[in-house]
Amino acid sequence: MKRVNIEDKKVVGVSFRTKDGDKFVKVNKEAIVSGGAVNSPQILMLSGIGPKDHLREIGIDCIADLPVGKNLQFATGTNATEGVALIKTGLEESEAPDIQIVHFLGEFYPSGPVTSAQSAHVYNDPKFFPLKNYDNTSEERMRKVGFSLFVCLLHPKSIGEVKLRSKDPLDPPIINPNYLDDPYDVKALIEGIRFAKRVTETKAMASFECQFHCMKMPDSTHDEWSDEHLEQVVRHYAQTVYHPTSTCKMGATEDKTAVVDPQLRVLGIQGLRVIDASIMPNVTSGNTNAPAIMIGEKGADLIKIGRQE
């Protein structure tokens, strides 16, 4: 899809590219953008809907000056687990948990599920993950008894952004996740690591003679469990398992940070909705799969209601 065509603040059609060339389809009622937290803002900005200054830089006329692409947030998680815990670190007063212990896997993975590409990963180097009498190759890991705990930050305070690279719809957008920019995110992950360690020290786990092994910074001069050392670990090893959201935020019409209204209609544009995880005001406390499905179901109902009116 190249862009949504808009005339007098109303959607009139959709332009897209095929192997046979550029095509145009007329829109009689409304168009639905459902490209996710990266491609939906990209399509809107290519259509002239987005931050005015950014669109001017790219050379696109601004039709609606909205904070499209802002508020990029990531959640983490997977369904390939045998146990999940949602916890509050207590760093701030909040009713929602801020850490999820995911990947409570019944196998020992120092760097996550093993692929051939990961077999030479730095995580497998004994100086980063030292284990006595243990071969860190993928083949040896698969033969060992153990389990893995992965600490995930649910509500990062570090907020990213999606921007256009150019006017070419085939040019990948610029994605700046801005990971760990806010000190709170690092502190929360450190508390999550300490919680994971306490799990292995419980009476139930003691019966299995559990030994907790955490990534290490080989050249660090700090105590292994000090804030300073754990911050180095977090900043060096932190990964994402994606789940991007919130770049086309839903909000009230007077909300200056919103892109769509509670009916998922793009503010100031007639006949255009965004229906995907990009409309979440904030990332959910955990995996985004089920919420994204429900956004789709609710969006379908809103479309039906709109056609009946």
Domains contained in the chain, CATH given: 3-72+243-308 (3.50.50.60), 77-153+180-237 (no CATH)
DSSP 233: H
103, 155, 229, 243: the active-site residue: 243
Mean residue pLDDT across the chain: 85
Q: 186: which 2 tokens?
A: 């690092």
pLDDT score recorded for residue 219? 82
- Residue 36's contacts (CB-CB under 8 Å, 6 or more residues apart) are 244, 276, 277, 278
Question: In sequence order, which ranges of 135-241 are alpha helices (DSSP H)?
Answer: 138-143, 183-200, 203-206, 227-237
Instruction: Determine the Cα–Cα distance for residues 87 and 12; give it in Å rounded to an integer.
Output: 48
Please tell me which residue, 119 or 164, carries the higher pLDDT value: 164
Q: 10: which 2 tokens?
A: 């109303």
Please tell me which residue, 75 or 159, carries the higher pLDDT value: 159
Please tell me which residue, 176 or 207, carries the higher pLDDT value: 176
Q: Residue 261 pLDDT > 70, yes or no? A: yes
Is residue 243 part of the annotated active site? The answer reads yes
Q: 285: which 2 tokens?
A: 């406390």
Longest pairwise C-alpha distance within the chain = 71
Looking only at the bridges linking them, the beta strands covering 31-33 and 272-274 are parallel
The total of other beta-carbon atoms located within 10 Å of residue 309's CB is 4
Give the pLDDT mean for 249-272.
97
pTM beyond cutoff 0.75: yes
